[in-house]
Amino acid sequence: MNLPQRIELLVQLGEYLVSEEPAWLQAQERAHRENGWFVPAFIRQSVQALVHSFLQRPALEAFAAAYPVAQATSNKTVGLVMAGNLPLVGFHDLLCGWLAGHRLRIKPSSKDAVLMQQVIDFLQQRSQEPLLEAAEQLKGCDAYIATGSNNSSRYFEYYFKAYPSIIRRNRTSMAILTGHETAADLEALSTDLLQYFGLGCRNVSKLLVPEGYDFVPLLQAMEPWRWMADHNKFRNNYDYNLALHILNNQYYMTNGIVLLVENEQLYSPISQVHFSCYSSLPSADALWQQYAEQLQCLVGAGGQPFGSTQQPGLTDFADGVDTMQFLTSL
């Protein structure tokens, strides 16, 4: 397939993902049954963001034009090991490999196998060549892109050490507050905190706040997310962490949805958000710089706008590593 044909199929995929095709609707229902974190609202939000930001023809053409993309299908095979913490979270790697013209051998996460298989099937059935497949083992590839935890990344580095590769590790996001945020700012921040139950690397897990910060407006701004308190898996995490704080006589704040805890750790458990206090903005800058290599997004003072973390564009590469440059240089 040439590049215009590959772009055309991606545009058609976008139309399919926002359609009410019975097979796609059934796949979404099955994905929710098999993974309780994939509630219908979050599947829809993920799909809509993906279609709006990734699968529009002008954006795809401009994106591809910025790289030396091969017109014909490459003879290279790229193995993709995907994460599954969010619906279709590994799609950007698939998109880049598809646009670059490589053959793709994909290992979807067991947590996101249903939705990703639908995407793979759609593209494969409409192409004229065997360009991509789902596989349990990724032997015999020419290059690899693998996303996982800090622990699994060590295994990836060992297994793929003889091949060109991108290995991704744990990442999370941080927000810097000044105390001058509007109600709209805080409501937007609540989306950065709680969309997808806070499970994504683009979800804010750590707040930097000025000394004496009033948390009440922030806690109130999370009210639209109160339904999450009735979600079984999320509630179990909340109750468990709350019990730990009570047993350990540890100070916490809560609105019945989320626990706010002063803690230097960057990563926070599900249903909990950590915060640290700073004395001045320069000191806040020094604090977040300590975590820079572990951050996917920085929002608020000195960072991107509140509410924007889950709306990446085609050029917002995970970990800041240009996936397309890597793929087109193979």
Query: Domains (ranges, CATH) in the chain?
Result: 3-170 (3.40.605.10), 172-300 (3.40.309.10)
pLDDT at 128: 80
Per-residue confidence of the chain (330 residues) as pLDDT tens digits?
A: 899 999 999 999 999 999 999 999 999 999 999 999 999 999 999 999 999 999 999 999 999 999 999 788 888 999 999 999 999 999 999 999 999 999 999 999 999 999 999 999 999 999 988 899 999 999 999 999 999 999 999 999 999 999 999 999 999 999 999 999 999 999 999 999 999 999 999 999 999 999 999 999 999 999 999 999 999 999 999 999 999 999 999 999 999 999 999 999 999 999 999 999 999 999 999 999 999 999 999 999 989 999 999 999 999 999 999 999 999 999
pLDDT value for 36 = 98
Cβ contact 245:261 at 8 Å: yes
Going by DSSP bridges, is the β-strand pair 165-168/172-176 parallel, antiparallel, or unpaired? unpaired
Give me 273's structure tokens: 């958000």
Quick one: three-class SS letters along the chain?
Answer: CCHHHHHHHHHHHHHHHCCCCHHHHHHHHHHHHHCCCCCHHHHHHHHHHHHHHHCCHHHHHHHHHCCCCCCCCCCCEEEEECCCCCCCCCHHHHHHHHHHCCEEEEECCHHHHHHHHHHHHHHHHHCCCCCEEECCCCCCCCEEEEECCHHHHHHHHHHCCCCCEEEECCCEEEEECCCCCCHHHHHHHHHHHHHHHHCCCCCEEEEEEECCCCCHHHHHHCHHHHHHHHCHHHHHHHHHHHHHHHHCCCCCEECCCCEEEECCCCCCCCCEEEEEEECCHHHHHHHHHCCHHHEEEEEECCCECCCCCCCCCCCCCHHHCCHHHHHHCC
Q: What is the pLDDT of residue 317?
A: 96
> Parallel, antiparallel, or unpaired for β 259-262 and 253-254?
antiparallel
Q: Which residue has the tokens 């990724």?
A: 138
Cα torsion angle, 8, 10, 13, 17, sign: negative
The pLDDT, as a whole number, for residue 254 is 98
For residues 83 and 196, what is the distance between their CA atoms, to the nearest angstrom?
14
Report how far residue 141's alpha carbon sits from residue 163's, in angstroms, rounded to the nearest whole number.
8
